[in-house]
Structure formats: C-alpha cells, structure tokens
Amino acid sequence: MQDLAQATLKTASAEGSAAKPWLQSYPPGVPHEIDASEYSSLVELLEESFRKHASRNAAVCMDQRLTFGQIDSMSQSLGAWLQSRGLERGARVAIMMPNVLQYMVAIAAILRAGYTVVNVNPLYTPRELEHQLKDSGAQAIVILENFAMTLEEVIDQTDVKHVVLASLGDLLGWWRGPMINFAIRHLKKMVPEFRLPTDQGRCVVRFNRALDEGSRLHLRKVEIGPNDVAFLQYTGGTTGLSKGATLIHRNVVANILQAEAWFKPMLDKVGNKQLTTVCALPLYHIFALTACYMLGARQGMMNLLIPNPRDFAGFVATLQKYRVHMFPAVNTLFNALAAEPAFAKLDFSELVISNGGGMAVQQATAEKWLKITGCPVVEGYGLSETSPVATINRLDIHEFNGSIGLPMPSTDIAIRDDDGRDVPLGERGEICIRGPQVMAGYWNRPDETANVMYADGFFKSGDIGVMDAQGYTRIVDRKKDMILVSGFNVYPTEIEQVVSMHPGVLECAAVGIPDARSGESVKLYVVKQDPTLAEEDLTAFCHDQLTAYKRPKYIEFRDELPKSNVGKILRRELRSSTD
C-alpha cells in the first residue's frame, strides 16, 4: 500500500513537472506552493510581525530610527485618529510622500483602521492628482507639506475632507526635527507657499498632532477579510486615464509569502543577524511596497529609506554608514550607482541579494554591478496587477541569462496566441499569469478588467515572451503600446490627450524609443495647427501637465502622421522610423 502511494506520488509529480516545466528548475528548499490562506488579512500578518520584531529597527531615515514597536504604537494612534473622523470601513485614504518614516507609519495605520491605501506619486501634477483622488474616491490624505500646493489646486474638486500634513522633520527628534524643518522651509525654500481650505467641514491637521490626539483614543478593531481591498495601485490606462489595480489583502499576503519562500534559503545563510534592505525605490511603487516594506516587516529587516535617490552623492554617503544585505532596484538605478566612483569603494561584503525588476536589466549593467559588489543582479518580473512579483530567477545563478526567470510558487505562466490558445514551448506568445497575487480587477472598470482577464483566471500581461523547456521565460516584445521609463508605465494615449489640448497642435502621437539611461524614453510626433508652434512651447506645456517620467524627451514635427485605412495613427510605423 505504501509502495502504491509512493508510486502515485511520483507519477503526479512527473505529470506536474510536464505541465509546469519550471518546477524541475526550482532551487533546493523552495516549495512549489504557498498557503495564501495562512493569514486572514495583511493586517494580521503585519501585526504579528510588529509583535515578533518589536525591539528591532524597522526603518532608518536621515539617521533617525524607528523600531517595529514604535511603528506599531504610532500606527495605532494615527489609525484611531482616522477612525475618529467618521470614515467608514473600506474608505480610501491617499498617501503622497517620498520615502520618509511617516510613510511606514501611515500605511500600517490606514490598513489597521480598516481602510484602503491609495498610493500617490508626490511629483504628480495637479491634473494627475485630481484624477487619482476623484477616481479612487479618497476621503483623506496623508501628504508631505512640500507637495501641499499641488493638493491645494485640486482639493475642492475631490471628496477629500481630512488632510494629515507631514513635515520632513516630524519624527527626527525634538531638537533636530525643528532645525531640519526650518532649513527645508526657509533656507532651501523647498516648501512652496500653500493655503489648504478648511471650510465645508474639511479638517487639516499636522502629522504629529494627529499622533498625539490619536494616542488618547482607542483603535477600534475592524474585521478584515482576505477579499477586502488593501491597496489601489494606479497604472496607465488604454483610454488615457490611469486606472487602479485593486489589490485585496489576499493578493499582497500571497506575494509576501511567495517572496519569502524564494528568498529564505539565501537569507538563512546570513544567520540570525538583522538584515538591512535598501529602500531607494519609492514606496508608492508596488515593487518597493512589497519587496521592501512588506517583506521587510515579515523578515524583521531594517529598511534604509532614501528620500531622494537622484542625489547620488548623498545616496552613496548614506550607504557608507551601513552594511546592507538586500538591494532592490531598477536597471537605471543600478547603472547610475555603478557609474559613481565613490560607490565602488563601499563595503559590499554582506550584500547577498540584488533583485532587479520594474524594467529589463541590461547585461552591461548587470556585469558592472557584479564586478563592483560581487553580488549578481537577480532579475524578476511583475506588474502592479500581480502585487507585483510573478517570476524571478534563481538566486544561485551568477551569470546573466537575459530571462525573467521562473514562476513564483503557486504561480502559473501560460504563453498564449491572440486566440487565447497555449503555444508550444519555444514559440512566441503573450505572457499570461495566474496565481493568488493576481489583482481582483481594476477599480470601477469592469470593461478594462474583462479586457485583461481570461475566464480561467489568467491575466494578460501585454508582453510577448518565449518559454524554454526548463521553464525560463524571456520577453521578446511588447504587445501593448505602453512605454516603460525607468520602471514606470507610460501610456501613449495619456500623453497624446494632454498634448492635443494645446491649441497649436493639430494631431500627435507618442511612442517609446530605446534609451541607454532609462530603458525607454518618450518621443512625440506633432503635426502643427499653428505654424509658429515651437518645441519649447510644447516642452513647457508638458512640464505643467505631466510628471517628469511621462514628459517627452524628444519632439519631432511632421507634415502628417502615418495612418491606417480607417484613419488610426500607426504608432508601430513611427517606432520603426526611429530604429
């Protein structure tokens, strides 16, 4: 009987490997499946982590540290304050900040209070911010005062009634914090003047005051289930308007457990010491949100928060003070740091994982990084819609292989043709993803959701790939017109709709072109309505309407644009003309 059971088990395993060729390539110690039902919600997982690692440092920013215990206490206070404002269960609360200590507190507070986090890029223009706040129906926002002027311009057109106004120095100590705030406001002039309205029942309160008031309140326990919405992660839309990927608690919990299962064998080699992960990617981006904050909390890591990663000299100076163990980044950041002479002099003896995602890692960048740090870049792949990690390479591979790796535990990858049929191994098709980390759909966009989901649960990525016999997938093309700039999605339709509002433009088209620094950059083709229209006019217009990574880097005027027989602009021909 025992022999029969073993034989059945072997047969099932062999059949599973045939259907899922990637399983044969899994590294030792990594399970094929994870139990996404282990926690009822992300809140349960975080609260367990806060208790387990209470005395450990959870984050450090500008040399100021917060322990997990402090984040536990502060998030309870801020969550209680939010509840006291009368927000109903499931209300959306936006966060508009760079990587600062308050971000760590705010995310936990919003989730624990029973609300949904709406992550917002702090560099958004008023137009972009207004759309996201209105589309999400956000009723409250936690925002750094440096960006309050943008909020002031649009708040009356939104449902936002409660504003928690943070300052850079809030959590940096009783004497150092005020000094930094004075310098930021009055010496460096980094806080534009603003006047947020307080009429019509609107409340504007300083971050530290909200913490103080909340500390005298009780955080009401809210029953949160796996299907409640944890995050709205906004990504570009085919209509030109960004749409919110609805990530439920189960999605994010699953991706944390998947990442833990993949990384744990390597991290265990470090021993019992606390690990430090570099959090230079913005926390409003899904990559840092999961890979840095969530996985960091689960593992009791300290997040080294970098508010301004573009200040490479300051970034390197910060790195000199710490021994880091994990370094998540996109290709442009790896490349820029590798080009800094001072970076090569740092001690990387304890760096064990450099994980790349958000955009393709280039071989030249990976080789430079390995030469300097001795730690290979492990490339993964995912999207906001997959919480984000869907595939990743083995951590024990040192040679650059150009693939996006193997599906994560409990994840299936199908390569399908335009009719939705699986293609044979080695043939091109759209990469489709199924797993517990795949979003519940787009917020209030059933039509958009239907466009990207198959009936059997597979999500259409829009990327064209090839899977080999060992289960490794390689991206070979992009099905969608999306442009990928330094790991951020840029949709041509949005650019075109904005530019077409300029009275001097008759018609236009935006495409992505290769860029050695950012992977791709935006090129704009324009047919003039006004013959006097100049490139500088459009550059200034785009500066006011689009955040930096969306702005066209190149502008070309043409007498006409290529069109199909029904009048559709052929972006593919424009892309070909730039090759």
Cα–chain-centroid distance for residue 475? 20
Measured between alpha carbons, how far apart are the two ends of the chain, in Å?
Answer: 65
CB 510 within 8 A of CB 496: yes
CB 274 within 8 A of CB 216: no
CATH number where 569 lies: 3.30.300.30
pLDDT tens digits for range 515-539 = 988 999 999 999 998 999 999 999 9
pLDDT tens digits for range 286-312 = 999 999 999 999 999 999 999 999 899
In a domain, 553, yes or no: yes
SS percent in the chain: helix, strand, coil, step 5: 35, 25, 40
Last residue of a domain, one of 192, 213, 246: 246
Per-residue DSSP letter, 145: G
Give the CA-trace dihedral at 433, 434, 436, 437, to 10 degrees. Answer: 10
CB 410 within 8 A of CB 34: yes
In a domain, 157, yes or no: yes
- Tell me the HSE value of 254 on the side-chain side, using a 13 A CA sphere: 27
pLDDT of amino acid 239: 56
Find residue 505's DSSP bridge partners.
528
Range(s) of the domain holding residue 212: 67-246
Last residue of a domain, one of 198, 231, 246: 246
In a domain, 475, yes or no: no
Laid out side by side, the sheet with 203-206 consists of 203-206, 162-166, 140-144, 92-96, 116-119, 229-235, 243-248, 441-442
Instruction: Identify the residue whose tokens are 């959090």.
Output: 279
CATH number where 170 lies: 3.40.50.980
pLDDT tens digits for range 10-47 = 433 333 445 899 999 999 999 999 999 999 999 999 99
pLDDT of amino acid 12: 35
CB 169 within 8 A of CB 189: no
Last residue of a domain, one of 222, 246, 270: 246
With 0-12 CB in 10 A as exposed, 13-18 as middle and 19+ as buried, what is 189? exposed
Cα–chain-centroid distance for residue 323? 25
DSSP assignment of 239-308: TSS-EEEEEEHHHHHHHHHHHHHHHHHHHGGG-SSPPEEEE-S-TTSHHHIIIIIIHHHHHTPEEEE-S-
Residues 163, 8: Cα–Cα separation, whole Å: 60
pLDDT of amino acid 238: 53
With 0-12 CB in 10 A as exposed, 13-18 as middle and 19+ as buried, what is 1? exposed
Q: Structural domain tally of the chain? A: 2
pLDDT of amino acid 478: 74
In a domain, 81, yes or no: yes
Cβ neighbours of residue 216 closer than 8 Å, sequence gap 6 or more: none
Tell me the two tokens of residue 394: 């083995």
Higher pLDDT, 187 or 400: 187
Q: Which whole number is the average pLDDT over 443-459?
A: 97
In a domain, 166, yes or no: yes
Tell me the two tokens of residue 446: 């059933």
Q: Which whole number is the average pLDDT over 126-154?
A: 97
pLDDT more than 70, % of the chain: 95
pLDDT tens digits for range 347-395 = 999 999 999 998 778 888 899 999 999 999 999 999 999 999 999 999 9
Residues 324, 305: Cα–Cα separation, whole Å: 12
pLDDT tens digits for range 214-236 = 999 999 999 999 999 999 999 86
pLDDT of amino acid 579: 60
Residues 129, 121: Cα–Cα separation, whole Å: 8
Q: How many residues are there in the chain?
A: 579
pLDDT of amino acid 14: 39
Q: What are phi and psi of 175, to 5 degrees?
A: -105, -35
pLDDT of amino acid 154: 98
Q: Which whole number is the average pLDDT over 326-344?
A: 92
Of the given ranges (156-170, 433-447, 485-499), which has the lowest mean pLDDT? 485-499
Q: Which whole number is the average pLDDT over 432-458?
A: 97
In a domain, 397, yes or no: no
Cβ neighbours of residue 111 closer than 8 Å, sequence gap 6 or more: 42, 43, 46, 117, 224, 230
In a domain, 294, yes or no: no
Give the three-class secondary structure for 189.
coil
Mean pLDDT score of the chain? 92
Look at the alpha carbons of 181, 182, 183, 188 in this order and tell me if their dihedral is positive or negative: positive
pLDDT tens digits for range 58-93 = 999 999 999 999 999 999 999 999 999 999 999 999
In a domain, 137, yes or no: yes
